Structure 1
Amino acid sequence: MADLAITSMGLSGKVEVLPLEVNRDGDSYTLDTVNELSIKYPNTNFTLILGSDAAKSIGQWHKSAELLQKVKVLVINRPGSAPSDFDEVNIKALDISSTKVRKSISERENVSNLLPAKVVTFIREYGLYGSR
């Protein structure tokens, strides 16, 4: 739930964040989310945007073949990443991972250059990712 709140804060109203996976009991798979979104938004084509690391392992995801029939995949590569088998978006992406950000937070390093100020405040206030 904290990740959902943090994501919502960083988007400044430009994107709707739905708590579908947070509200689901048990395991939650991307395919389940796509199926639920397809019901909520019929006649909509969905694009799954992934980082290069996630794109490399998508074949190992739950029912990946079925998932790949239902969505287009768009990959944002980190600098120096090998090309993927999917369409790629040509934008300047930060060469930083969420794992690295969480580690920096837990080690009490300054992350104000990586996250919006209100997100950093929320993380510190609630002691998320070992920030206390």
Structure 2
Amino acid sequence: MTAIATFALVALDCPDHFGLARFYSAITGWELDREPPDGPSPDDPDADWVQLRAPGGGATIAFQHVPDHRPPQWPGTEHPQQAHLDFDVPDLDAAEERLLAIGARKHEFQPGTTFRVYLDPAGHPFCLVQT
């Protein structure tokens, strides 16, 4: 089948787009595509947006500022997660220790043994998957 398009990124809504970008930068080692401005930037059309630079220019993660963001509630359907990210790791315990140190929260509901569910600082669920 011939592709219609090439996947470029996944974007997460959040109340602090630069803060959440730094959180995922600490997980992936990818750099932010720009630093936050020193003050308000009413003339900057990208003021509400920041991306991580993926090595080799592949698909990446973007973060969009949404002042009234309501985090998803997982599990459940009142405020569904809508999407989540998975990260492969060789050692769940070692990776968990590092995640908690940078601000992740381990979700109280853990449905499996080969993966673990966490919440990022904006409340988005994501998983570590043992490889």
- Higher strand content, 1 or 2: 2
Higher Cα Rg, which structure:
1
Q: Higher RCO, 1 or 2 (CA under 8 Å, sep at least 6)?
A: 2
The question of a shared fold, defined as TM-score above 0.5 by the shorter chain, is answered with no
TM-score, with structure 2 as normaliser: 0.27
More helix by share: 1
